[in-house]
Structure 1
Amino acid sequence: MEPAANNKARRRIIDYRMIWRWHFYAGLFCIPFIIILTLTGTTYLFKPQIEAALEAKYNNLAFDGAPKPVSQQIYTAMHAMHGASLTQVEIRDDPHDALRVTLNDNGELYRLYVHPQSLDILKAQPLDERFMAVIKNIHGELTIGGLGEVIVELAASWAIVMIMTGLYLWWPRQASGWAGVLWPRLNGGTRLFWRDIHAVTGIYISTFALILLLSGLPWTSVWGTGFKAVVAATKPAAAKAEWSSSRAEDKQQTKDDHAHHGQGAPATGMGADMGTDLTGIDALLPAVRALDLPTPVVIKPDGDRLWQAGSTTQNLTARRTVTLSADTGEVVKQTGFTEKAVMDKIVLTAISLHEGHLFGWFNQLLGLLTALGLLTLSVSAVIMWWSKRPADRLGAPVKFDGKTSRGLLPIIVFTAVFLPVMGISLILIALLERFVLRRIAPVKDYLGLN
Structure 2
Amino acid sequence: MAKAQSSPALQPNAAFYRTVWRWHFYAAVYVLPLMVVLALSGTLFLFKPQIERWEERAFQNLPATGAVAPSTQVAAALASTPEAKLAYYRLPERQGDAAAIHLALPDGGMTDVFVSPQGDVLGSIDPESRIIAIARDIHGQLLLGRRGSWLVELAASWAIVMVVTGLYLWWPRGRGLAGVLYPHLSQGKRAFWRDLHAVTGFWVAGLILVLLFSGLPWADVWGSAFKAVRTEMGWVDGPQDWTIGGQPASETDSGEHAGHGGGQSMHVEHDHHAMGHSPMAHSPAPQGPDIAMLDRMVANARAQALDFPVQIVPPGGRAGSGGDRSAAKGWVVKSDTQNRPNRVTLTYDATSGQLISRDDFANRHLIDQVVGYGVAWHEGQLFGWINQLLGVLTALMLVTLCVSGAIMWWRRKPDGELGAPKAFSTTARPKGIAAWGLFAFLLIVLPMFTMSLVAIALVERLALPHMPKSRRWLGVS
What TM-score, normalized to structure 1? 0.90
Matches within 5 A, 1:207-286: 207-235=206-234, 239-249=238-248, 254-255=267-268, 257-258=270-271, 271-274=284-287, 276-286=289-299
Look up the match of 1:443.
470
**Cα distance change on mapping 1:165 and 1:418 into 2, 3 Å:** same
Deviations 1:301-323 (A, max 9, x none): 13699421111111001111112
Q: 1:323 aligns with which of 328, 347, 362?
A: 347
Single out whichever of 105-114 and 285-294 deviates more from structure 2. 105-114
The answer for unaligned runs of 5 or more in structure 1 is none
Look up the match of 1:160.
160
- Correspondence 1:25 to 2:26: yes
Equivalent-residue separation in structure 2 for 1:395 and 1:237 (angstroms): 48
- Correspondence 1:296 to 2:316: no
Matches within 5 A, 1:120-131: 120-125=121-126, 127-131=127-131
**Cα distance change on mapping 1:365 and 1:84 into 2, 3 Å:** same
**Cα distance change on mapping 1:35 and 1:237 into 2, 3 Å:** closer
Q: 1:172 Cα shift?
A: 1.3
Q: Is the 8 Å Cα contact of residues 310 and 335 (structure 2) preserved in structure 1?
A: yes
Q: Is the 8 Å Cα contact of residues 83 and 274 (structure 1) preserved in structure 2?
A: no
Q: 1:95 Cα shift?
A: 5.2
Equivalent-residue separation in structure 2 for 1:242 and 1:203 (angstroms): 33
**Cα distance change on mapping 1:8 and 1:438 into 2, 3 Å:** farther
Alignment partner of 1:254: what SS?
A: coil
Look up the match of 1:428.
455
**Cα distance change on mapping 1:219 and 1:213 into 2, 3 Å:** same
Alignment partner of 1:207: what SS?
A: helix
Single out whichever of 330-339 and 247-256 deviates more from structure 2. 247-256
- Correspondence 1:307 to 2:322: no
Look up the match of 2:258.
none
Look up the match of 2:112.
111
AA aligned to 2:468 is A
Deviations 1:303-346 (A, max 9, x none): 69942111111100111111235776653321101110111111
Q: 1:122 Cα shift?
A: 1.0
Look up the match of 2:55.
54
Deviations 1:126-185 (A, max 9, x none): x2222211111111111111100100000000000000000000001242x111111111
Size of the aligned set, in residue pairs, is 439
Q: 1:259 Cα shift?
A: 5.5
Equivalent-residue separation in structure 1 for 2:358 and 2:369 (angstroms): 17
Q: 1:93 Cα shift?
A: 5.0
Q: Is the 8 Å Cα contact of residues 20 and 169 (structure 1) preserved in structure 2?
A: yes
Q: Is the 8 Å Cα contact of residues 149 and 246 (structure 1) preserved in structure 2?
A: yes
Single out whichever of 366-375 and 97-106 deviates more from structure 2. 97-106
- Correspondence 1:401 to 2:425: yes
Q: Is the 8 Å Cα contact of residues 88 and 102 (structure 2) preserved in structure 1?
A: yes
Q: Is the 8 Å Cα contact of residues 243 and 261 (structure 1) preserved in structure 2?
A: no
Cα RMSD (Å) of the superposition?
2.8
Equivalent-residue separation in structure 2 for 1:358 and 1:70 (angstroms): 31
Q: 1:410 Cα shift?
A: 5.5
Q: 1:405 Cα shift?
A: 3.1
Equivalent-residue separation in structure 2 for 1:437 and 1:218 (angstroms): 35
Alignment partner of 2:15: what SS?
A: helix
Equivalent-residue separation in structure 2 for 1:237 and 1:196 (angstroms): 46
Deviations 1:381-439 (A, max 9, x none): 01111112112322110011232235355543442232111111112112222332244
**Cα distance change on mapping 1:253 and 1:147 into 2, 3 Å:** farther
Look up the match of 1:92.
92
Equivalent-residue separation in structure 1 for 2:372 and 2:8 (angstroms): 49
Deviations 1:202-240 (A, max 9, x none): 000001110100111100000110001111223388843
Alignment partner of 2:473: what SS?
A: helix
Equivalent-residue separation in structure 1 for 2:125 and 2:77 (angstroms): 9
Alignment partner of 1:14: what SS?
A: helix
Alignment partner of 2:394: what SS?
A: helix
**Cα distance change on mapping 1:260 and 1:188 into 2, 3 Å:** closer
Q: Percent identity?
A: 38
Q: 1:282 Cα shift?
A: 1.9
